[in-house]
Structure 1
Amino acid sequence: MPLLWKPESWSQRLAELEARSGDLKEAPLRRDVRSLGTLLGDVLREQAGDALYEKVEELRQSAIRRREEQAAGKSKEAEDRLQRTVLSISTLPVEQAYQLSRAFAFYFELINLAETNHRKRRRLSLQLSGDSSRQRGSLRGTLREMKRVGISATEAMDWLRHVFIVPVFTAHPTEIARRSVLFKRRRIGEFLEDLDRIPVPDEEILRLQEQLMAEITALWQTDEVRSRRPTVNDEIKMGLDYYDVSIFATLPKLYEEVSAALASEYGLDIDISELPLLLGFGSWIGGDRDGNPFVTPDVTREAIRSARARLLAHYQQQVQLIIDLLTTSAQQLPISNELKQRLDGYLTELRAGTQQLFGARFEFELYRRFMVCVHARLLRAAGDAASDADSLESALSALPAYGSAQELLDDLSALRRSLAENEGLRLAQTLIDPLILLVRTFGLHLHTLDIRQHAKLHKKTLQETSDWCAGNASIVPQGLSKEAADVVETFRTIAEVKAGCSPEAIRQYVISGASSVEDVLGVLWLARLGGVEAAAKGNDPGLMPVPLFESIEDLRNAPEVCRSLWNLPEYRALLASWNNMQEIMLGYSDSNKDGGMLTSTWEIFRAHRALHEVARECGVKLRLFHGRGGTVGRGGGPTHRSIYAQPVGAFEGEIRITEQGEVLNWKYSDVVLAERNLELMIAASLDALARPNTLDPHGHQSGILLPEWEAALEELSDTAFHFYREQIIDDPEVLSYFETATPVAELEHAKIGSRPARRSGKRAFADLRAIPWVFGWTQSRQLVPAWFGVGYAIEQYSQKPGGAKLLRDMMAEFPLFIDVIRNVEMAMAKADLGIASLYASLVPDVGMRTRVFSKIEAEFNRTLAAVLAVTGQKELLETNRMLAHSIRLRNPYVDPMSLIQVDLLRRKRAGEDTDEINRAIAGTINGISAGLRNTG
């Protein structure tokens, strides 16, 4: 086997790593992609034969030539080539079509891994060169800019104390990979990272290549399409895996980077144990009931139990490591009186003397003896039985379980103080501080589990239980419908969880479709019926109702609804127990489906700003929860840019953000990637709080909204909204077109997620979830939710005197408008109307097909012209060459899969509805998802 990763010289490899720009910088990525492609080609020949490999190459080359013809303006030649390819695919047997789609999907798997490895490589390069302070979104860069404009160290630390970010993991049906596939991906990623070492002997390169070949072969032999829909418990396990894979190891490294950044930019010397807590974690997996009948009270109990078990297992590993390494002897250095008293207290509790209990074990190593007691209490907390083979462990099992995270923190803090007082500060910083940080972050519960249900179901339950009151809390009302009984039982489950040792595991109750004060008060009434105390008390933070404002109308009404709520005397008493904190959730997905991209973005911005104004008026500290998806059509896009684009003066540093489905693997599959993603959020929040640009007389993109810009955005939004509603929502043909011109109906066969695509069995637009709405449009390469209406609004406004110049000024200076246009640009670059027209051909009603696709095509071309005019570019992504290159790299592989999918859908619609066809279609769905990276 040729050594694909062997360079001409190792100095050249080092030069690639040190390169700041140009071809040399991208050379390692090209090598990874080319070499992985070569290995996959060998696997395809070996596993599936030369005929399949040759067909893959034929389709790939055809796709490349079609793209080249399009770029050269040869539209007729490109269209002819597309039709010839479609014809050649239509004659393929279903099994061969399936194998072809698998082959292309595997190219994407490997390209994605190569790009991920390159992101890690470039981060390392910046760290080596010292240029990380200039990287967009880096904490050092933000602190350096703050210092440059005169923000003092004291002020910087004060801003940092305001930052608290909570990524909330969700299991919406957009993550297409199975757990077994995710594991194999990580293995390949590790091998690629090993190949980046300098130097690597030839024998090692050969060994790594052979291991890569083995993993690619294993992937090929693995079912990428699930044979059954995943259960919620499956999704719980997938979400928890990311803690073991990256997050536990990432947090200490991240806080060390925060400490180092403060030292380098401000000269501050702060240990990670003294830094403010900047991050927490949340989850919806196992708690989100809205439209998912499979999330039962038992599933919620399992989600809480599994999270706690995963966390305590990690704590036990870390404590055991400390026991192994903290060998300081009392014959060399003493321990503090405080720690001695704690250790003696444990012995007293066990009614045993030191000699009787430990004998000669750790005779002078009192730190180890203390940590053995800590380990025993953790075992009890986890419910693990002591080993009969270990008499010490068995004797210690009589110690009580930790009843709260504070008890564990008290023990660890006493240990740290003893080390610091007795020449062991370095040991404390290395061994104890990382564990203290984890306990501060995760407590004994790992993450908060949000409960979510729709306001309509609460109203139904309230109607059925109207004759009951809190006095009947011990009795379940009889004669309830299944839906109402489930709501009541959900609150009883919350009460049960809160009665345990981690009442903070459930803090928020999210109300989907909230539109009124009554929607919030109804949840409080139901909580009382279920025996849940909403007010905070002792270690229990209570249960806060979190209204989720989703539709355009509800976003507009949200400030007034909250004003009324916050002025109710009984609710103010609850707020006081929550330290006058209120969380409000803003829905990106449904507002986009309801009003279009531009209006959704603007109305969320306006609601965000107005809610903060009302909160200040009412003396409430507001924390917003942003329900963003992975795609532009559901609020996705670069995290730093979106956080910084928040309204000036309407952000207090605390923010919760959903991390949905497919993006989890992209952001948290590796320690380096997780650290970068979390650093981005911290740096962006700090930037949005301190706003150093506003203190610089020559600063740009300060975020300040000029009156003329606000008026322009208001007019753009109004124009886009009415156009979108008229052309999409109010046109009954669009939903019919959507259901036949996209594979949305086939998502069920892809076995992607546990949640159904609709809230009920109705085939109405309002009943269709935003996720499949976006997924279907994206799979069919139309991406309508991400851009429709934007071009029309810009065109109309640009016709006004001075309108075009004003929009260009906004594009240069206003972060929100920049974010909108760049996200639209990214989505349009992934669309392909030539291929979309093939999906449109699936619509049997020719008149409907022509009418709907014609207006989609017209608006796409209008939006393309508008984006180029506003940005001053000649082509899409002209200023984002890395993304443009990535999309160009993927197109020759995703295009054939789209053509195969269209052909398979055509066969199915013609009556060939077999398991083989459905499996093949599911394979194309998986492959296109991998190719476009974010499809739901």
Structure 2
Amino acid sequence: MTQEQEYSAMRNNINMLGHFLGETISEAQGSDILELIENIRVLSRNSRSGDDKARSELLSLLSNISTENIIPVARAFNQFLNLTNVAEQYQTISRHHQDKTAQERSIQSLFKRLKEQNVPREQIVQTIEKLLVELVLTAHPTEVTRRSLVHKQVEINKCLSKLEHSDLTAIERHTIERRLLQLIAQAWHTNEIRTQRPTPFEEAKWGFAMIENSLWEAVPTFLRQLNDHAVEHFGYELPLDLTPVRFSSWMGGDRDGNPFVTAKVTAQVLQLARWKAADLFLSDIQNLVDELSITDCTAQFREKYGERSEPYRHVMKGLRTKLKNTLDYYDDLLADRLPKHTKEEIITQDEDLWEPLYDSYQSLTACGMRIIANGLLLDTLRRIRCFGVAFSRLDIRQESTRHSDAIAEITRYIGLGDYSSWTEDDKQAFLIRELNSRRPLVPRDWVPSAETQEILDTCRVIAKQPEGTFSCYIISMARTASDVLAVHLLLKEAGVPYHLPVVPLFETLDDLDASEEVMTQLFNVGWYRGVINNKQMVMIGYSDSAKDAGMMAASWAQYRGQENLVKLCEKLGIELTLFHGRGGTVGRGGAPAHAALLSQPPRSLKNGLRVTEQGEMIRFKLGLPAVAVETLDLYASAILEANLLPPPEPKASWRTVMDELSRSSCDIYRNVVRGDKDFVPYFRSATPEQELSKLPLGSRPAKRNPNGGVESLRAIPWIFAWMQNRLMLPAWLGAGASLRQVMKNAEAKATIEEMCHAWPFFNTRIGMLEMVFSKTDLWLSEHYDQRLVKKELWYLGQSLREQLAEDIKTVLALSGKGQQLMSDLPWIAESIALRNVYTDPLNLLQVELLSRLRQNPEKPNQDVEQALMITIAGIAAGMRNTG
């Protein structure tokens, strides 16, 4: 199928789904509403095509829309976008999909290239055995689609898959189309906006549902494919216990700025995770009971598990009983009841499941039944290694000052003075002394403040769990070595009996630049080197560094920081794992996964990849089993390639130019965001930032400090707000202008052109800018200003749009693509063009609704408020990588 035929197939699916939505709207709201919606859609399409008359009519129509029509119109375009996204996501896994770019990036393609380039087999095998893709699912508040609607969208995908068969009878086709119509009607009659903000416990349930509905199937499928490719190209079979894929979660563990994540919530989420793991493994074991009716086994197996006519079935039935007990046990705990089973009667460790299943595998293989062993039994073994009986490991995250405040409260109480006023050297000396001490620091009868009690309670929850339940303890806004040592001391005081990795998260520009010095100080502490076993994880922050300094300066600081840490750890013989706190958007480090990984500093992925998957990107990249398999393949391929065919070390001339670009872009960015006295009032009026806090997205408040200004605003709502008005300022401000400034020098211009072609890091940044520019819209952004911003502030928006227009020209000239953004990625360009037709009316409607609400803020109209929330959700769906 040619690319044009694929576009045609996708458009046909979109048209069919749109037609069914039209039928639903007509039946539910009446033909007059459907006619109004269709008129808006046609005007929007013509407006996008450059018809000024259509644009004027569209503006007039939406500016004068009646209050009773705003909700159905907003809902219609929101649903159109959701269905467009469903059709587009399906197309990527359609049996007819032929994405050459994706094929070139696959593991299959990489293995062919490695053979052609005569890379030694032993080196390839060693690299595969060290492969680790660890995705950390987070509940960052940009997933605007409710779980009930996500489920219906998955079902729509299944229907599209069935319709792709060419041998359907007329009755079969009619049945599938009828089911599609039912699903679309169900979605229409479901409130797309949550009425209440989700709790952290509900967020965890959403994350667990993603694992259950997609990843549980995807992981063994991916590993089977990886094994088949390795056998085909190198005659190498993956070891049974190899774990190249792992999942962790922040849902129920991330308490940074979220007062609703408490020690009690964390304990409940851990119980729910074990219940869910038992439930899914029980299903697998029940199927194995049905499958393994075989009588032959080895003498060793019979000796270990007893003389039985159906030995494997006997073992599976024993596991089935234990798993049922495990479900009952955690049911009781979650309901706050005394468990009727003891710990001895349930499954508590991975080995409880692994050992009998591994023994069964070995016996079946030895008895000539390898084909049976490599079926569901192998899949279950791989699920045990990937997910385990804890289901997904949990990260704890807390802000650094919460720990130092807790220790200061302790030192004041026991008469040692105020820890918070000590120098860094004094803090380190005290912490090291206490870490080496055998006596407790915290008095037993002491009653601390609620904040300190919560920190101590969290550490006690960790202490009660077996090793491996938690991945690590992350310190956000880490700035000093004492920040890390403080957490180790608090964990020691709580009685944690094992070493839990404590991970500093370096976020701002200054903190990234200082990261090497901080880690050097830590590694010079004898106690610290003794407990880490020469393994260290460091988290690199993308959101706050970009918010602090702009995209160009932040990305260079992240690169340099990683590079310095890699060299430091290599010098000291420490295995470094870099944990990337990326989001979906460019302003938060987002980029196509394959390109982003190949643009990392050389050797930075040699111990694997740990990366956050955030908000709506979890659903887009992992929400369907086939899509998740493709995502895992892409990640694994990029890591293997980065380690076996590493990117070039940047030349000295490239570094010089990047230093200059970084300084220049940071100055330009900060002069606007921090230096212009009108910037904050402009931001608050030109975007729906103030209204965003009313949208019940995630459990976490939008601000760290509810009384603070933009500086206290979280990176996600900061980016989300600019995404809504289509200016997308955080993702580009300073970047293009710095390029123009530096390229005035002919030598620097030649160097930048060389960097574009020869350096993946720089080339990827330019590609990311291009993608952002393709989603901006100067006219829509100007419309927000004219309707919502005071005239005396218009100059700022005008100046930013002029800079954006110049930046687009600069990037197009640099990439050599003439006048057309994304010309080398027509699939993405087509996708954006398709969604613009539905997103534009939501933008225009949003402006009208904001205007009406702000005219009478004391008495807001509930229908207008509800419609505004729907436009926010709809634009997020249209822009896709929103936060």
Q: Same fold (TM over 0.5)?
A: yes
**What corresponds to 2:803 in structure 1?**
859
Q: How does 1:346-425 map to 2 (within 5 A)?
A: 364-383=309-328, 400-425=345-370
2:561 is aligned with 1:602: no
Q: How does 1:337-348 map to 2 (within 5 A)?
A: 337-344=299-306
d(CA) in 1 for partners of 2:487, 2:22: 57
Between stretches 440-449 and 215-224, larger displacement belongs to: 440-449
Contact 2:509 2:549 in 1 (8 A): yes
d(CA) in 2 for partners of 1:915, 1:531: 52
2:872 is aligned with 1:928: no
Deviations 1:755-809, CA, capped at 9 Å, x for gaps: 1100121232221100000000001111001111111111012111133333222
Between stretches 475-484 and 44-53, larger displacement belongs to: 475-484
Paired letter, 2:44? A
Shift of residue 814, structure 1, vs aligned partner: 1.1
Residue ranges of structure 2 left out of the alignment (5+ in a row): 332-340, 415-433
Q: How does 1:13-24 map to 2 (within 5 A)?
A: 19=1, 21-24=2-5
**What corresponds to 2:281 in structure 1?**
315
Shift of residue 403, structure 1, vs aligned partner: 4.0
Shift of residue 481, structure 1, vs aligned partner: 2.7
2:120 is aligned with 1:140: no
d(CA) in 1 for partners of 2:772, 2:529: 44
Shift of residue 132, structure 1, vs aligned partner: 8.1
d(CA) in 2 for partners of 1:590, 1:95: 41
**What corresponds to 2:338 in structure 1?**
none
Deviations 1:131-169, CA, capped at 9 Å, x for gaps: 989813201111111111111222211111121111000
Q: Choose the corresponding residue for 2:537, options 550, 562, 583.
A: 583
Contact 2:397 2:474 in 1 (8 A): yes
**What corresponds to 2:14 in structure 1?**
33
Paired letter, 1:858? E
d(CA) in 2 for partners of 1:527, 1:228: 35
d(CA) in 1 for partners of 2:833, 2:216: 36
d(CA) in 1 for partners of 2:605, 2:184: 47
**What corresponds to 1:841 in structure 2?**
786
Paired letter, 1:339? F
Contact 1:563 1:618 in 2 (8 A): no
Q: Choose the corresponding residue for 1:151, options 102, 119, 131.
A: 119
Contact 1:589 1:628 in 2 (8 A): yes
d(CA) in 1 for partners of 2:744, 2:101: 42
Contact 1:133 1:139 in 2 (8 A): no
Between stretches 376-385 and 304-313, larger displacement belongs to: 376-385
The 3 A distance-change label for structure 1 pair 477 and 659 is farther
d(CA) in 2 for partners of 1:913, 1:813: 55
In structure 1, the residue corresponding to 2:700 is in which secondary structure? coil
**What corresponds to 2:454 in structure 1?**
486
Paired letter, 1:55? L
Shift of residue 38, structure 1, vs aligned partner: 1.5
d(CA) in 1 for partners of 2:706, 2:854: 21
Q: Choose the corresponding residue for 1:517, options 469, 481, 499.
A: 481
Contact 1:292 1:756 in 2 (8 A): yes
Q: Choose the corresponding residue for 1:54, options 35, 47, 69.
A: 35
2:36 is aligned with 1:92: no
2:82 is aligned with 1:109: yes
2:249 is aligned with 1:292: no
The 3 A distance-change label for structure 1 pair 204 and 800 is same
Shift of residue 377, structure 1, vs aligned partner: 2.8
d(CA) in 2 for partners of 1:125, 1:660: 26
**What corresponds to 1:456 in structure 2?**
401
d(CA) in 2 for partners of 1:199, 1:678: 32
Paired letter, 1:121? S
Shift of residue 337, structure 1, vs aligned partner: 2.7
d(CA) in 2 for partners of 1:232, 1:276: 32
Between stretches 775-784 and 616-625, larger displacement belongs to: 616-625
Q: How does 1:517-536 map to 2 (within 5 A)?
A: 517-533=481-497, 536=498
Between stretches 889-898 and 60-69, larger displacement belongs to: 60-69
The 3 A distance-change label for structure 1 pair 617 and 110 is same
Between stretches 131-140 and 184-193, larger displacement belongs to: 131-140
Q: Choose the corresponding residue for 1:42, options 15, 20, 23.
A: 23
Contact 1:246 1:674 in 2 (8 A): yes
Shift of residue 269, structure 1, vs aligned partner: 4.7
**What corresponds to 2:813 in structure 1?**
869
Q: How does 1:879-894 map to 2 (within 5 A)?
A: 879-894=824-839
d(CA) in 2 for partners of 1:619, 1:26: 52
d(CA) in 2 for partners of 1:624, 1:789: 27
Deviations 1:644-663, CA, capped at 9 Å, x for gaps: 11111333131210000111
Deviations 1:145-204, CA, capped at 9 Å, x for gaps: 111111122221111112111100000100001111111111111111110123211111
**What corresponds to 2:505 in structure 1?**
548
Q: Choose the corresponding residue for 1:216, options 184, 192, 210.
A: 184
Paired letter, 2:61? S
d(CA) in 2 for partners of 1:316, 1:28: 40
In structure 2, the residue corresponding to 1:507 is in which secondary structure? strand
Paired letter, 2:635? M
2:603 is aligned with 1:649: yes
d(CA) in 1 for partners of 2:169, 2:442: 71
- Please tell me the root mean square deviation across aligned C-alpha atoms, in Å: 2.2
**What corresponds to 1:360 in structure 2?**
none
d(CA) in 2 for partners of 1:728, 1:892: 31
Contact 1:133 1:144 in 2 (8 A): no
d(CA) in 2 for partners of 1:586, 1:436: 33
Q: Choose the corresponding residue for 1:237, options 176, 193, 205.
A: 205
**What corresponds to 1:12 in structure 2?**
none
Residue ranges of structure 1 left out of the alignment (5+ in a row): 1-18, 70-76, 345-353, 355-362, 387-395, 537-541, 695-701
Paired letter, 2:17? L
Q: Choose the corresponding residue for 1:684, options 633, 638, 650.
A: 638
Contact 1:735 1:765 in 2 (8 A): yes
Contact 2:105 2:634 in 1 (8 A): yes
Paired letter, 1:61? V
Contact 2:271 2:330 in 1 (8 A): no
d(CA) in 1 for partners of 2:782, 2:505: 37
d(CA) in 2 for partners of 1:830, 1:328: 59
d(CA) in 1 for partners of 2:102, 2:152: 34
Shift of residue 61, structure 1, vs aligned partner: 2.0
Paired letter, 1:290? D
> How high is the TM-score relative to the length of structure 2?
0.93
Q: Choose the corresponding residue for 2:683, options 726, 738, 744.
A: 738
In structure 2, the residue corresponding to 1:280 is in which secondary structure? strand
Shift of residue 102, structure 1, vs aligned partner: 0.5
2:799 is aligned with 1:831: no
Contact 1:132 1:140 in 2 (8 A): no
Identical pairs, percent: 30
d(CA) in 2 for partners of 1:438, 1:156: 24
Q: Choose the corresponding residue for 1:793, options 738, 753, 756.
A: 738
**What corresponds to 1:350 in structure 2?**
none
**What corresponds to 1:503 in structure 2?**
467
The 3 A distance-change label for structure 1 pair 476 and 667 is farther
Contact 1:608 1:650 in 2 (8 A): yes
**What corresponds to 1:121 in structure 2?**
94
Deviations 1:622-677, CA, capped at 9 Å, x for gaps: 00100001111111121111111111133313121000011111012211001000
Shift of residue 750, structure 1, vs aligned partner: 2.0
In structure 1, the residue corresponding to 2:207 is in which secondary structure? helix
Shift of residue 811, structure 1, vs aligned partner: 1.6
Paired letter, 1:371? M
Contact 1:94 1:920 in 2 (8 A): no
Paired letter, 1:924? T
Give the length in aligned residue pairs: 849
Paired letter, 2:614? Q
d(CA) in 2 for partners of 1:370, 1:132: 47
d(CA) in 1 for partners of 2:583, 2:459: 28
